[in-house]
Amino acid sequence: MLDYEIQGNRVALHLALGDNVAPITADAVQVEQVILNLARNAIEAMSETRGGPRELAIDTTTRDNGNVEITVHDSGPGIAGNLVNRIFDPFVSTKPDGMGTGLSISRSIVESHGGRLWVSAAGTRGAAFHFTLSGTP
């Protein structure tokens, strides 16, 4: 579903999907919407990047508590410090023509599944969005 955007923006996609990720019970369409929103945001952020590689990575792992963690990280410009605490608020956007609803909707979806969505710096460049979903007992 992201091939056109990945190829059009010359982004290298890296998948590190854990071999023994715990099964979860979730609405697949809603979880897909969260992943697509995070990946599209990352691709769009990297489209402004002039120097260095454009890399998008999606990782999955099982946490010690049995929850599954999905991380979407990029090599874009990152998120300005003054926006980090507000990035999930409705109508807050880093894009000039953005509506600022994608991340707040994504957070609502994740929380409705008993999980958590947060952002961190992704090394020296970029941002990493992480979310957890409850593993099935």
pLDDT tens per residue, range 11-55: 999 999 988 888 888 999 999 999 999 999 999 989 877 778 899
Q: pLDDT band at residue 134, thresholds of 50, 70 and 90?
A: confident
Give Cα separations from 79 to 7, 34, 40, 55 (angstroms).
24, 18, 15, 16
Q: pLDDT band at residue 125, thresholds of 50, 70 and 90?
A: confident
Alpha helix positions (H), the chain: 3-8, 28-46, 81-84, 102-112
- What is the arithmetic mean of pLDDT over 75-103? 78
Report pLDDT for 75.
93
Give the global pTM: 0.90
Quote the CATH superfamily of domain 27-133.
Histidine kinase-like ATPase, C-terminal domain (3.30.565.10)
